[in-house]
Amino acid sequence: MKLLGAPLSPFVRKSVIVAAEKNLEYEYDPRPSPLGWTEDFIKINPLKRIPALLPDPDNMDFAINDSSAICAYFEKLQPEPALYPGDALAYGRALWLEEVADTDLANKVGMLVFRPVFFNIMANKEADIKSAKEGFETLSEVLLPYLEGQLGDADWFAGDMFSIADIAIASQLMNLDLVGFAMPEDRFPRLRAHYARCLARPSLAACIATNEAFVKRSGVKIERVID
């Protein structure tokens, strides 16, 4: 197998974490990115979205695109350890929260907080901290309180097991962390504790370490804004 997509994409990250949890081996090509597509990527995914997975690296005519499809494929390919609940209600809940993470959370984290900081710095501009702070406040109005409430007093989002819902949400929150916006404990104690539990898992710890190293190699210096 070959997985393609830039390492700071939360959707690539989600796929990498699921593969790590299942101890799946694959080749990795980090080049395809909204900042520059490889010549053959349009053949792999004409929509130009990452990640993409080639089950057979020698056959670019068939790819599995979209992180949700890739992660579901990994679950079927290697059922243990299960990352999708067996209980019908918990399963539906996990899929819903994965969708929340992949849509509204991804859009607000990416466009309102991550982009004004990281993309500006990569373009040799000053980080727009003011816009990023405003973006974080927008997140804090509805979406983060909703997730805080959905978690409640539980350790995990969908039943009593670590699942795709936890991976999807943590994958998005990592992009806040990478640009200096940790989850404030006084405002979102449950989400902060959940994020810490996720990062205690080897799969997520390795992923964030790789991402931080990539940011460092890129020459981007991030100041801690919220801690």
pLDDT tens-place string over residues 56-90:
999 988 999 999 999 999 999 999 999 999 999 99
Please report whether residue 179 resides in a domain: yes
Q: What is the pLDDT of residue 112?
A: 97
Percentage of the chain beyond pLDDT 90 is 76
- Domain boundary among the residues 77, 104, 126 is at 77
**Mean pLDDT along residues 200-214:** 93
Query: Are 45 and 93 in the same domain?
Result: no
Please report whether residue 45 resides in a domain: yes
pLDDT tens-place string over residues 5-36:
999 999 999 999 999 999 999 999 999 888 77
**Residue, of 21 and 224, whose pLDDT is higher:** 21
Query: Are 45 and 151 in the same domain?
Result: no
Q: How far apart are CA 179 and CA 112, in angstroms?
A: 12
Residue with tokens 């390795």: 206
Query: Are 69 and 117 in the same domain?
Result: no
What residue numbers bound the domain in which 6 lies? 2-77
Q: In the predicted model, what is the mean pLDDT of the chain?
A: 93
The β-bridge relationship of strands 52-54 and 64-65 is antiparallel
Q: What is the pTM of this model?
A: 0.95
Q: How far apart are CA 11 and CA 75, in angstroms?
A: 16
Statement: residue 121 has pLDDT above 90: no
Please report whether residue 227 resides in a domain: no
Query: Are 190 and 114 in the same domain?
Result: yes
**Residue, of 142 and 60, whose pLDDT is higher:** 142
**Mean pLDDT along residues 168-197:** 94
**Residue, of 225 and 64, whose pLDDT is higher:** 64
Query: Are 120 and 167 in the same domain?
Result: yes
Provide the domain count of the chain. 2
